[in-house]
Structure 1
């Protein structure tokens, strides 16, 4: 990060943090806009929604899944969500450009509550991660200090991957 860089952009845009190609950084902004539109649709339907805007997203072969770094206030909201709700169902929206982008919508339909988690990964990391995934994938949300994390295990890992990776 240089003196001319916007520190907020580094905290809230993993594409910039990872010095990804311009097309990835540009699509990240589209993904965040889509997340906000999805959150609004849920809220307009009477749902309570928590959104996180990751600072970094790392495919993690040991989880296996994604290690997602979020701001402390967003982390605390995610903790409240997971402590007070059961993720009964999830839906993953995915797009592919120079990388694979996803928006995971984790729902407790009985309470009309949702947690929205965006992320992305380079194709080559997705191929490597796919080799480690069995029946589930974990989203691991970390605070900036990386001293604690909240994990959500999802049983539809194939939704995070294009056929070119999942079908291999």
Structure 2
């Protein structure tokens, strides 16, 4: 997988014009949190997909090793009980900026993600029926940090 370091998105993102604003929003929002004294972790996935397999069901983002290690260290000391989800979409892609928050330690993890809702219809239905969405932040060796959400609506396009 090759990455385009100029804009932080992999070359295979189908709608690059939609991804860059997500990254810019993440940076600005994280800066606002830091200004209020929060510890922030900004992630830059190399790939993002909606998955439904025997191993994982939910949104799966692949992280560079150093970012994964930072996330793993922060997650070990935090209890993420709140989440904000910012959404955008274009003709073929659905973009998310997920902010996983631990208000007690004032820690926020920023997870940008994207997926094609047209090719994820059955997976979306599985998540809706389960009433739970899992966000997997992983590295290529399949180690992962998992965030679980019982309100699946904010992670899905309107009307699905």
User: Which of 33, 38, 48 in structure 2 is aligned with 1:47?
Assistant: 38
Q: How many residues align?
A: 154
Q: Distance in 2 between matches of 1:45 and 1:129?
A: 37
User: If the length of structure 2 is used for normalisation, what is the TM-score?
Assistant: 0.88
Aligned equivalents of 2:22 and 2:120: distance in 1? 18
Q: CA deviation at 1:142?
A: 1.4
| Conserved 8 A contact 2:117-2:157 | no
Residue by residue over 1:129-159, the C-alpha shift from the partner in whole angstroms, topping out at 9 and shown as x without a partner, is: 221112211111111x324122111222110
Identify, as 1 or 2, the structure richer in strand.
2
Q: Assess if the C-alpha contact under 8 Å between 2:137 and 2:146 holds in 1.
A: yes
Q: Name the residue aligned to 2:117.
A: 123
Deviations 1:69-93 (A, max 9, x none): 0101110111112211011110100
Give me the CA root mean square deviation: 1.8
Task: Tell me how far apart the structure 2 counterparts of residues 46 and 78 of structure 1 sit (CA, whole Å).
Answer: 18
Give the SS at the match of 1:141.
strand
Deviation per residue, 1:91-143 (Å, 9 max, x gap): 10001112110000000001100000001111213422221112211111111
